[in-house]
Amino acid sequence: MVPKNFRWLIMPLALIGGCSSEKAPEPAAKAALTLQEFMTQKIDVHADAIWAIGNAAIDDTASIDPAKMDEKGWTGISQAAERMAVDARALAALDPVVVTRPGVKIADEGTAGAPSPADIQGHIARDHDTFRALAGTLATHADGLADAARARDAATVGRLVNEMDGVCESCHLEYWYPEQKALVKQIEAAAPVAAASR
């Protein structure tokens, strides 16, 4: 079997090669957004729009108070959720996934212990299927949110807005900073032992 990560290794070279005078461009590679661009230009923008409207209308029981919502708010959430679903599906279909462009830093890169684009590239190469599935989960979540907002179903919108960051985090913990997942597990595992030894 051809190792999958070989593709990741040659990707930056393919991009540089595209600048040569020979008429052999890499249209797919050039046109495709990087993972980072998906996050910063699309997914995060839609999420912020949803959170901005949702958080302003969330009451002390952590559900949406319909009295604090107007037509603009409902449409704002449904439209941002529709865009999120489309972009999450495009992210799931992205192949190959290129984390960032040469010379472009990802969030936290360079700070002590922070993952590098190569680390992330490695995590995706190891299990692209789960990455696709998690992007699909975000798309389905966004579908549900768009439906609920169109139906003016405040209870469901409130729940799905509250649960959305967990959907983001489930992929970030798997593919961005999985070493923190181990840490979370360690803490969970250590807690009962510490309690029992007292």
Contacts with ligand HEC by CB under 6 A lie at 35-36, 39-40, 43-44, 47, 99, 106-107, 120, 131, 134-135, 138, 164, 167-168, 171-172, 175-176
Nearest Cα residue to 91 out of 126, 128, 143: 128
Q: Is residue 30 a contact partner of residue 16, using CB atoms and an 8 Å limit?
A: no
Q: Helix or strand or coil: residue 34?
A: coil
For the chain, helix, strand, coil in percent to 5 are 70, 0, 25
- Joined together, the tokens standing for residue 36 give 């980072």
Q: Is the Cβ of residue 26 or residue 44 nearer to ligand HEC in the bound state?
A: 44
What is the secondary structure of 95-114 as a DSSP string? SS---S-TTPPPTTTTSTTP
Cβ at position 124, least distance to ligand HEC in Å: 7
Q: Is the Cβ of residue 26 or residue 169 nearer to ligand HEC in the bound state?
A: 169
Q: Is the Cβ of residue 159 or residue 172 nearer to ligand HEC in the bound state?
A: 172
Q: Is the Cβ of residue 118 or residue 191 nearer to ligand HEC in the bound state?
A: 118
